[in-house]
Amino acid sequence: MKSNWHSWQTEIYAVFQKEWRSESRSLSGIMTTALLCLVSVVIVNSITWTTSINPMIASGMYWMILVFSASISLPRTFLQEEDSRTADFWRLMARPEAVYWGKALFNIAQMLLATTLMSIAFLVIVKVHVENVGLFIAMAFAGAVSIASTVTLAGAIASPASSRYALSTAISAPLLIFLINLGVTGTATSLGEFLKSGENGAIGMIAYAFATCSIGPVVYSKIWKG
């Protein structure tokens, strides 16, 4: 039992480490996500610099930036395997669940970093005041995990297609739209908007993060050999 758990751990860690090593050579994934987030925050600021935006609009923009930056930059963990023709190597060497978890954990780590940087930039540049810091952090954390796990699965589904980059964005965005909805409710409450069920947004987001993290490996294990 213990050795089985250890072998899973080793496989997942190996995939994670491989992702980290290939990322650390160029940092292109993290840089792309960070740049997309920063450019979006600057655009929001340049549009709204003469007016103060209300918490609802501010949280809507915050989630739009997060979701679209993630749906463009995160699926590459699976897509680059097809580009570099190493996907078949994984199919021979590792269990699908381990591959999925390794890549999902890497995406979650990347997304948490991007969310932290983007939140700081957003709060400072757009000048938004946070009323409930705990709820804001909970929403950002749960949102990052939900977005990363959903986009990882979308990337895995789109990876065998020829137009995989456009397709992964096209199929992950619809799956994430309703997360914007949940996110806006919770984040707007944390920014001072009075909503009846602001905290429910955080609960919904955490529940969705659990659901996608559970469904993702199962679906991936069924689709990965085509």
Partner 1 sequence: MERLRKILLIVGIPLATFHSYLVPDAANFQSPEFARIFFWHFPCPIMATLLICMGLYFSMKYLQTHDEKWDIRSSAVHELAMIFIVLTMISGIFFSRIQWGWWWQNDPRQVSFLLVMVIYLAYFVLRTAFTDTGKRATNSAGYAIAAFLPFLFLTFVYPRLPQILGESFHPTDTIMKGNLKGGYAYVTIELMILVSIITNWIYNLRSRAGILELEVENYGHDIQNTRSSTTDTPVVRRISVSDES
71 binds partner 1 (CB under 8 A): no
56 binds partner 1 (CB under 8 A): no
Q: Minimum distance from CB of 96 to partner 1 (Å)?
A: 12
Q: Which CB atom, from 4 or from 162, has the smaller least distance to partner 1?
A: 162
Among 66, 79, 158, 191, binds partner 1 (CB under 8 A): 158
Q: Minimum distance from CB of 219 to partner 1 (Å)?
A: 5
Among 57, 208, 209, 213, binds partner 1 (CB under 8 A): 208
Cα 71–Cα 74–Cα 109 angle in degrees, nearest 5: 125
157 binds partner 1 (CB under 8 A): yes
**Residue 162 CA, distance from chain mean position:** 23
**Alpha-carbon span 67 to 63, nearest angstrom:** 6
Q: Which CB atom, from 2 or from 226, has the smaller least distance to partner 1?
A: 226
Residue-wise burial string across 34-52, b where 16 or more C-beta atoms lie within 10 A, e elsewhere: bebbbebbeebbeeeeeee
For residues 158 and 79, is the Cβ–Cβ distance under 8 A?
yes
Give burial (CB, 10 Å; 0-12/13-18/19+) of 123. Answer: middle
178 binds partner 1 (CB under 8 A): yes
170 binds partner 1 (CB under 8 A): yes
Q: Which CB atom, from 126 or from 209, has the smaller least distance to partner 1?
A: 209
Which alpha helices (DSSP H) does 94-163 contain, by range? 96-125, 133-158
Cα dist from 195 to 55, 121, 180, 186, 205, whole Å = 11, 25, 16, 9, 16
Count of residues that bind partner 1 according to CB under 8 A: 35
Q: Which CB atom, from 49 or from 178, has the smaller least distance to partner 1?
A: 178
64 binds partner 1 (CB under 8 A): no
Specify the DSSP class assigned to residue 52: P
What are the φ and ψ backbone dihedral angles of 50, each rounded to 5 degrees? -90, -15
21 binds partner 1 (CB under 8 A): no
Specify the DSSP class assigned to residue 128: -
Binding residues vs partner 1 (CB under 8 A): 150, 153-154, 156-158, 160-163, 167, 170-171, 173-175, 177-178, 181, 185, 195-197, 200, 204, 208, 211-212, 215-216, 219-220, 222-223, 226
